[in-house]
Structure 1
Amino acid sequence: MKQHIGVMMLMVTAVVWGSGFVVTDIGLDYFNAHQLMAGRFLLAAILLLIIFSYKLKQINKRIIVKGAILGAILYTGFVLQTVGLEHTTASKNAFLTAVNVLIVPLIAFAVYKRKIDRFEIIGAFTALIGIGLLSLQSSFTMNIGDILTLLCAVAFAFDIFYTNKFVQNDDAILITIMQFVSAATISVIVVLVRGDIPTSVESGGVYAIVYLAIFSTIVAYLFQNIAFKYTTATQGAIILSMESLFGMIFSVIFLHEVLTGRMIVGAALILLAIIFTELKPTFGKKQPNLIKPDQNP
């Protein structure tokens, strides 16, 4: 029963994150990437501290360290993704971000020396072809936005991997709170150092920040981090990859993006690669969980 609840929470997260690509694109009409992130993370951190103030006395050094690590990874991923979105489309941003699912097994190999099997190799090559169709221009080059988005996929792969690891033996809500306090602190410092404090704020920008803070940040990450107590990193990754599909759908509906046949084929190959790689136990011997029991950092 708990596993089913975890799956449903991750599905909600995927839908919300899919809509987040569109809202972020709209928010970039009012703020630059660093301002937008500082706004969403700061508001999310404040709201989480207020809502779960009764739990703060349970925070210990281990949770603070785990939250700080996840917050730094999260900030890195979002800054690459959001700056990348300034130079590419929301639908391409969504699908290139989804490549993080294919990177999770590579992290497992690097950290725990887990063998990479043939399904993951086939999936990686399929995704590579899809990325080429989706992003390569006629001159066989990728624009800077697509490159930054691919780098963000690496950061989010680490976020998935270590979130699944960290929440096994500690309170997922407290880790989430510290994660966003960390991300908010980093993002505000960056804005201050850059001298990017906005002098005026329009209502459209405020709505974007509120939506991203409440739904794409608080609701989505609480659901993700709690759900990872009842699912493996592999199960979570495949469900969360559906955000790319929802991102494309919302981009077409609300941003009126025009998708070419080549882009659709590329996106389909990336999604197929993710599903094929993560459903490999269906085709052969069941694979062990990617994550070992939690260890104190």
Structure 2
Amino acid sequence: MRGRGVDVMLLGVAAIWGSSYLAAQRAAQVAPVEAVLLWRYFFAAAVCLGVMALARQRLRRAELQAGLLLGVTQALVLALETYGVAHTSAANAGVLISVTIVLVPLLEAGVARRTPSRDLLLAAGVAVVGVALLTGGPTTIRSGDVLVLAAALVRTGHVVLIARMTRPQPGRTLRILPITTVQLVVGTVLFAPVALLGGGATGASAGGRVPASTWTPLSDPAFLWPTVYLALGCSVFAFLAQTWAVQRTSATRASLLLGTEPVWAVLVAAGIGGYVPGAISTLGAVLVVGACYWGQAVERRVRPLEMAGEQRRMT
């Protein structure tokens, strides 16, 4: 039963992340993207600061340094994602961002100066073909698709950076909650002047229902609830649930379950958002998701062999 509970938790995290694209799109329809980003970060940071205070966790210097750098890269990823989903479908965004699954091992191979496996390169090629079909090719690709693909590239670097910066070292253990809290505070600080100077925090009105001069996130449910969901569901709960679950299962099983995120993105967009994909777009989505699973399988097979080779060279 415990194993099933962990699996359900991981599937829940994947579903929440998959639904985040539709929530971001809904929020961005009634307020500037800057306001979505600011209030998402602000709500999430406030909760994490409260949790840290209750847990009486003090921030360490190494955690502050890691959180500052990762906070900048994370903010860039979310900015590109949110601007992107405002100009494309939530389903497209959820599928396109999953290209990160294939790109991460490619970047890690480049950083380690080793040649990636042929199967991994083939999986990346299939993903590129899928992206082309999903977006309609270079002649019909939307600006939002380009921004989400850019977010996937930045997220790739962000993930590799997380792995390198938080890797356990003798005499040093970095805790996840403080690092995440710093990242959220950094994002709040970065987006606050952008939103305030651009009028995004106080000058929006949801289709004229709320006067721009008196608009606040609390006065507009069409903005408030999607943003609270993004902050508490996608930025706080999903992260803590993921950490709890990963500690109780294998990384391989966790990656498989979390890799269903693009599937959930399409299902949520179709079931709630009324998205109806065409045949070509559906084929493209299938190729992208299939390539990501292929890339995961290759990585799980190749990584232990590479680590064993590194250990032999060190000895």
TM-score over 0.5 (shorter chain): yes
Q: Is the 8 A contact 2:13 2:242 kept in 1?
A: yes
Q: Is the 8 A contact 1:14 1:246 kept in 2?
A: yes
Q: 1:283 to 1:217 in 2, by over 3 A?
A: closer
2:196 equivalent among 179, 192, 200? 192
1:277 aligns with 2:277: no
Q: Is the 8 A contact 1:17 1:216 kept in 2?
A: yes
Structure 1 position 54, deviation (Å)? 3.7
1:257 equivalent among 271, 275, 286? 275
The CA distance in 1 between the partners of 2:106 and 2:253, in whole Å, is 16
Q: Which runs of 4+ in 1 moved over 4 A?
A: 1-9, 225-238, 281-289
In structure 2, give the amino acid aligned to 1:30.
V
Matches for 1:221-260 after TM superposition, within 5 Å: 221-225=239-243, 238-260=256-278
The alignment's TM-score, normalised by the length of structure 2, stands at: 0.82
Q: 1:44 to 1:155 in 2, by over 3 A?
A: same
Q: Is the 8 A contact 1:134 1:266 kept in 2?
A: yes
1:144 aligns with 2:148: no
Q: Is the 8 A contact 1:85 1:145 kept in 2?
A: yes
Look at both structures and tell me which one has the larger radius of gyration over its CA atoms.
2
Structure 1 position 172, deviation (Å)? 1.2
Partner of 1:153: 152
Q: 1:196 to 1:206 in 2, by over 3 A?
A: same
The CA distance in 1 between the partners of 2:91 and 2:158, in whole Å, is 22
The alignment's TM-score, normalised by the length of structure 1, stands at: 0.87
Q: Is the 8 A contact 2:71 2:183 kept in 1?
A: yes
Cα offsets for 1:30-80 (capped at 9, x unmatched): 212111011111010001111221445431111011111221111101111
The CA distance in 2 between the partners of 1:210 and 1:228, in whole Å, is 25
Number of matched residues? Answer: 289
Q: 1:281 to 1:91 in 2, by over 3 A?
A: closer
Partner of 1:25: 25
Cα offsets for 1:155-202 (capped at 9, x unmatched): 222232233341643111111111211122212132134342224141
Cα offsets for 1:205-263 (capped at 9, x unmatched): 11111111110110112234555667888776554332111000000001101110111
Matches for 1:172-211 after TM superposition, within 5 Å: 172-199=176-203, 200-201=215-216, 202-211=220-229
Question: Matched residues, percent identical?
Answer: 22
Partner SS state of residue 88, structure 1: coil
Partner SS state of residue 52, structure 1: helix
The CA distance in 2 between the partners of 1:12 and 1:288, in whole Å, is 32
1:84 aligns with 2:84: yes
RMSD (CA atoms) = 2.8
Partner of 1:295: none
The CA distance in 1 between the partners of 2:249 and 2:197, in whole Å, is 40
**5+ residue gaps, structure 1:** 293-297
The CA distance in 1 between the partners of 2:176 and 2:8, in whole Å, is 17
Q: Which has the larger displacement, 61-70 or 181-190? A: 181-190
Q: Is the 8 A contact 2:30 2:223 kept in 1?
A: yes
